[in-house]
Structure 1
Amino acid sequence: MAPQWAELDPELDAIFHDDEPDGPELPRKKVPTGDVYEAARAGDVERLRFWLELGVNVNARDAWDSVALYYACLAGHLDAALMLLECGAICSENTFDGDRCHYAALNLRVRKLLKAFEARPPPLAPLPRSLRELFLKSSANLSYLEGSSTEDDSTVPRIKTSRLEAVEDESDGLGPDVTFSVAGRVMKAHRAILAARSPYFKRKFETDWRNRKQFRFESRKLTFSALFSLLHYFYTDRLDVAVDDMEDLVRVCKVCQCLLLKKALEKEIAHQKFANYKSLRGVDDSQKRFILQGSSLSWEEQLPAALRRLFRLCLANSSKEGVLRPENGSEDAGNLSRNSVQDENGYMAEEMKQERRTTSLEASSVGDEKLEFEEDHADVIILVDGQKFRCHRFILASRSEYFQARFARMSETQKACCTSRHGGFGVLPVLEEHDLTANAFEKLLEYIYTDYVEDIDPDEAEEMFDAASRYLLFPLKRAVVDVLLPQLETTPPAELCRWLLLADMYGVTKLREHCLDAMALNFELFASTPEFRQMLKALPPPSGDSELRTTAPSAPGEEGQGGNQGNLLDDLREKWLAIEGEELDKRDESARYFDGRLAQLVEMAVAEEEEFSTTEVASENKREP
C-alpha cells in the first residue's frame, strides 16, 4: 500500500523555515535507475518517492550496513530525510541506526528534524496496531511497558496473587487466556496468537499445556524482559529490545523455533561488538535499544502470514465440522451429546479428548488434510448463509467495533453444541449474521485476519463495499480496490460508468479517482456512449464557477466514508481542465466548452429516452389485437 504523505505540522514547518544557516549541501542530481540508497544520497525525491510507494523497507541496510536515512542526513537533504521519516525510518538515539544518523547529520536543521521524529515510533499497520492495543489491555503488560514494574519482589504481582486480575481480564471473553510468570513478574497473552507465530507454543498448547492457563518459569537463563519483547513482537511485528537482553532473546528464539528472528539477532549482536558506542555517547548498555521491523524478515515470518495460516486452519476446521456433524436424532448425535460434557475449567471431557487424540492419529493422509485436525483455539462460531465459520472473538473485536459491541451483548442462550466426531472442538457460542453471502463473509474475515484480500470477483465488490460500511471496516474498501483495479484496466466505458456511481455511493475514493481520471483522459470516447449520457442526466449538474459551488472538488487521495465527497461532475470538470488547460493555456475558454458539451450530452440523453419511450409504445400497440 502506498504511503500517505503527511503535511508538515507547525513544529516541522519551523525547522524548514527558521533562520538557522543551511550549511553545506551536496548538489542534487537525478538517479533514474538508482536504488533507494542512491536516491537518498543524491536527494532525488522523485526517485525516492517511487521506491517508497513500491513498499521498500526503509530500515533495510545495504552492503555497508547503512540505511537510506543515514545517506540523506550525511548529505544534508532535508526533504529526502523527511520523506523517509514519514514512512517509518528509525532515528531514535541509543539505537545503532539512530545514533549514526544523529552524528552524521550535515547541519543543524537535519538534527532538529531527527529530534522532532525521535519520540515518534515507526508507524504500525492497522492489523499490528489493533493487536498491540489488545495486548496492552492487560494491566500487567501495560504496567511493564510503561516502566511501572519494579524489581522489589514484595510489590511485583505474582501468579498466586493475580487470579482476580486474570478473571477481570477474561470477563468479556476478549482478554488474554494464558498467563506467564518469570522471576515473579507476570505477562499475559492469547494462545491463538502464540501458536500461530511459534511452532514451540503450538506444540505445547496441543499437548502438555492443553488444560493449563498459568505457567511459571523458574530457569535463571530466561529473563522476563526477553520473553516480554518476544511476545510483544508476536503481536506487533516490531521487535524493540534492549541491547543487554539480546543474547537472552536469542536463547528464547531458539526454544520457540523463531529461527529467522534468531538469525537476525545474532547478526546484530556480532555487529554490536564492533560498534564503538561508548566513544559516541556515555550511555550505559541498558539504555541502548535494537529495533527490528517484521518487514525485514521473509513474508512467512511476518504477522499477516501467520494469521493467514490461522485463518485457513479455521476455514478447514469449519468445513470439516460442517460436513461431519451428524443429523439430529441419530445414534452418533447421541454419542456426541454425551461426550461433549465440559469440566469445571471449560475444557472438553476426558472421553472427548481421548476420542480427538485417536482420530488425529488416524489422519494419516498428507498435505492439507492434516490441517483439518489441528487445534485452532477458536472460541466462537458465526453462522452465515447456512455455513459455519470458526473465529476468534478477540481478533474480530479488536478489528471491528461492530463485533466488539456484538460480543458484549452475547448471552448464554446463544451457546450451542458445535462438536464434531473428528474435530472434538467442544461447546462454542454461536452468532448468526444475516443479509450476507458466505463468500463475502469469508473475504471479510480474510481482511480482518490479514489486513488484505488475496483476490476478489468484480461481481462481489458491491457486497464487499456494503459489508465494509456495515461492519465499520472502512479500510476494507481500499483493500478490495487494490485487488480490483488491475481487472478494471480493460473495462469498457459503459461498465466504468457503473463503477463510478458505485464508488461515489459507497465513498470508495481510490476507485472514484480512477474512474474520473479515465473519463477526463478519454472524454470524447465516453461521450459517445449512451450509458455515459444517461449517467450525466441522473447526476446533479456542475456548479460551474467555483465561487458559486456548494461542494468543493474532492482532494485527490483523500479517504472518504461516503456522503462527504464533492459533486461528481465538478470533480470531472476539474480533472478535464487540468489536462486541457495546460495544453491550451485557456482555462476559462476550456471551462465554457466543457459546460456546453455536458449540456449538449444531457439533451441527447433526454432525446434518446423519449425516442426509446416512443418506440416502446409503438411496439405495445402493434402487439395489441
Structure 2
Amino acid sequence: MDTSDLFASCRKGDVGRVRYLLEQRDVEVNVRDKWDSTPLYYACLCGHEELVRYLLANGARCEANTFDGERCLYGALSDPIRRALRDYKQVTASCRRRDYYDDFLQRLLEQGLHSDVVFVVHGKPFRAHRCVLGARSTYFANMLDTKWKGKSVVVLRHPLINPVAFGALLQYLYTGRLDIGVEHVSDCERLAKQCQLWDLLEDLEAKCEKVSEFVASKPGTCVKVLTIEPPPADPRLREDMALLADCALPPELRGDLGELPFPCPDGFSSCPDICFRVADSNFLCHKAFFCGRSDYFRALLDDHFRESEEPVASGDPPVVTLHDISPDIFTHVLYYVYSDHTELPPELAYDVLSVADMYLLPGLKRLCGRSLAQLLEEDSVVGVWRIAKLFRLARLEDQCTEYMAKVIEKLVEREDFVEAVREEAAAVAARQETDSIPLVDDIRFHVASTVQTYSAIEEAQQRLRALEDLLVSIGLDC
C-alpha cells in the first residue's frame, strides 16, 4: 500500500507525501514496480524537478551510463531535471543510511573487516570471508573445504580470470548486486559458469538483452555499465546468510532444523571465530557480522571493553559470556544480524526490542515495531504508542496515531488516552494556552488525510469534534 502510494505521489510531484513515506513509513527509495521503474524515473518523466532533487539527495540511484541513469535522463521532461541528473554523484554512505543491511554488506566487502582469506588475482588482492563465500556458493564451499582448505592466501593465475570480473563476482556474492563494465561482461559470464552461479548467469543474459533493446530504441543513449540488482523482496541473499545463523545455533536449540541445509556433500564449516555463551548455550558466530552490524559488539570485541574468556579447547574460538538475555531471545538477535530478518511473534516483540536497543541494532528495533503494530487495538494502542515513543520508533508511533484517528470517538472515553494527552501537553516546555500538542496534532493530521469524498467529510468532522470536546473538558485549548 505504501509502495503504491509512493509511485502515485511521485507521478503527482507531491514532495510532502513522498517525504512522509520515506522518512516516516520507511518505504525504500529505490523500490521498483512491475514495469521495472523506480520512483525517480516517474518524477523525471512527469517533470517534478524539486522532487527529483529530493530523491537524489535521499539515495535514489541514477549513476551515469547505467540503464537506470540513461532511462531517467532520456525520459526527463525538462532541461533543469537533465542537469540535476548529470550533476548527480555516486550515492554516499549518508544517503544510503536507510538500508542498513545493504550498507553493511558493501562495507564488509570493501573494508574486509575480520576477513580470513585473501584471493590474489594476477597480483590484485581481494580480502574475503570464508563464511560468506561458502554460504553463497556451492563451488566456493567445496573449494574452501578441499583445495583451498587452511589457506589464508589463494593465488589465482589462470589467464582467463579477469581481476575486474572477479571483483564483480565477489560484489554479487556479498550484496546480490553487480556492477560491471560492458567490456567485461563476457569475462563475468565465464566466471559465473565456472562458479556454478546459474542465477547470476541468467540475470546477466537477461540484462544484456534488455539493455540492447533499450539502446536500439532510444537513439543517443549510451550504457557503459551493466547493473544487476535483486528484484524487490528477493529472499535469496538473506536466506543464504541465514544458513550461517543455522550453523551458529547450539544443537539443543535447532529444533526442527534437523540436518543443516547446505548443499555440500561433505558438510560445511562456517569457520566461526567467536563463541557467545548465553546461559548454558554456546553460539558459534563471526566477528565480521556482529562487529559490522552493532557498535555494541564492536566495542565488546574490538575495543578495550573486551570480556572474552579463554577458548574452551585448543583451536576453538574465544568465548564471550552475554548476561541478562535468554538463548531464545538471542536467537532472534542472531538471525537478524546474519540475515536482517527474524520470525518474531508479537508476544516476544517487547523483550527483543529491549535487547535490540541495548545492542544498538536499529533495524531490529524496526522489525520489533512492525511486530508490535499487529497488536493495535483500542485497549492496547496507547500502550504501544508509549513504547514507540520510548524507543524512538517513528513508524510505529505514526501507525499508532493513525489507528487512534480511526477510533478517536471511543478513545476519548478511555482514561489511559486522556492521561497520554495530559502528559504530552505537560511535556511541551513553557507551553502557552494556544500551543499545540504533538499527539493531538498527529491525530488531527490522520483524520484529515482520510477525507477523500464528500461523505467522509462529516465523519471526519465528528471525529475532530470528539477530540476537541475532550480537550475542552480537561482544560486544554490548542
Range of TM-score over shorter length: 0.7 to 0.9
Corresponding residue number in structure 1 for 2:234: 299
Partner SS for 1:254: helix
Distance 1:590 1:498 in 2: 21
Corresponding residue number in structure 1 for 2:451: none
Give the residue type in structure 1 aligned to 2:79. Answer: L
How high is the TM-score relative to the length of structure 2?
0.78
Are residues 248 and 387 of structure 1, via their aligned partners in 2, closer, same or farther at CA, if it must alter by over 3 Å? Answer: same
| Deviation, structure 1 residue 434 | 0.7
Identical residues among aligned pairs (%): 26
2:331 is the alignment partner of 1:442: yes
1:519–1:572 CA contact under 8 A, matched in 2: no
Give the residue type in structure 2 aligned to 1:470. Answer: M
Are residues 586 and 523 of structure 1, via their aligned partners in 2, closer, same or farther at CA, if it must alter by over 3 Å? Answer: closer
| Deviation, structure 1 residue 214 | 1.1
Give the residue type in structure 1 aligned to 2:259. Answer: E
| Deviation, structure 1 residue 264 | 1.4
1:308–1:450 CA contact under 8 A, matched in 2: yes
Are residues 66 and 294 of structure 1, via their aligned partners in 2, closer, same or farther at CA, if it must alter by over 3 Å? Answer: closer
Would you say how many aligned residue pairs link Structure 1 and Structure 2? 453
Distance 1:548 1:402 in 2: 41
Give the residue type in structure 2 aligned to 1:131. Answer: L
2:64 is the alignment partner of 1:176: no
Are residues 71 and 527 of structure 1, via their aligned partners in 2, closer, same or farther at CA, if it must alter by over 3 Å? Answer: closer
Aligned with 1:289 (options 222, 225, 228):
225
How high is the TM-score relative to the length of structure 1?
0.62
2:192 is the alignment partner of 1:253: yes
Q: How does 1:214-225 map to 2 (within 5 A)?
A: 214-225=153-164
Corresponding residue number in structure 1 for 2:452: none
1:544–1:595 CA contact under 8 A, matched in 2: no
Distance 1:440 1:105 in 2: 49
1:526–1:532 CA contact under 8 A, matched in 2: yes
2:340 is the alignment partner of 1:405: no
1:379–1:391 CA contact under 8 A, matched in 2: yes
2:73 is the alignment partner of 1:105: no
Corresponding residue number in structure 1 for 2:282: 388
Partner SS for 1:262: helix
Q: Deviations over 1:56-79 (max 9, x none)?
A: 9646784xx877755654553446
| Deviation, structure 1 residue 255 | 1.6
Residues 402-411 or 50-59, more deviating: 50-59
Distance 1:540 1:300 in 2: 41
Unaligned runs of 5+ in 1: 4-31, 139-173, 324-365, 420-425, 554-569, 601-625
Corresponding residue number in structure 2 for 1:488: 375
2:312 is the alignment partner of 1:417: yes
| Deviation, structure 1 residue 106 | 3.2
Distance 1:263 1:480 in 2: 36
Are residues 514 and 253 of structure 1, via their aligned partners in 2, closer, same or farther at CA, if it must alter by over 3 Å? Answer: same
Distance 2:419 2:159 in 1: 76
Unaligned runs of 5+ in 2: 449-456
Are residues 223 and 488 of structure 1, via their aligned partners in 2, closer, same or farther at CA, if it must alter by over 3 Å? Answer: same
Corresponding residue number in structure 2 for 1:451: 340
Q: Deviations over 1:19-51 (max 9, x none)?
A: xxxxxxxxxxxxx99x96xx69x93457x9699
Distance 2:276 2:162 in 1: 40
| Deviation, structure 1 residue 401 | 0.8
Residues 67-76 or 396-405, more deviating: 67-76
2:207–2:228 CA contact under 8 A, matched in 1: no
Partner SS for 1:307: helix
Q: How does 1:36-55 map to 2 (within 5 A)?
A: 43-45=11-13
Distance 1:300 1:576 in 2: 36
Alignment root-mean-square deviation, CA: 4.4
Partner SS for 1:381: strand
Corresponding residue number in structure 2 for 1:523: 408
| Deviation, structure 1 residue 135 | 2.5
Q: How does 1:71-220 map to 2 (within 5 A)?
A: 73-78=44-49, 81=52, 85=56, 89-120=60-91, 123=96, 125-138=99-112, 174-220=113-159
Distance 1:377 1:92 in 2: 37
| Deviation, structure 1 residue 382 | 0.6
Distance 2:424 2:73 in 1: 55
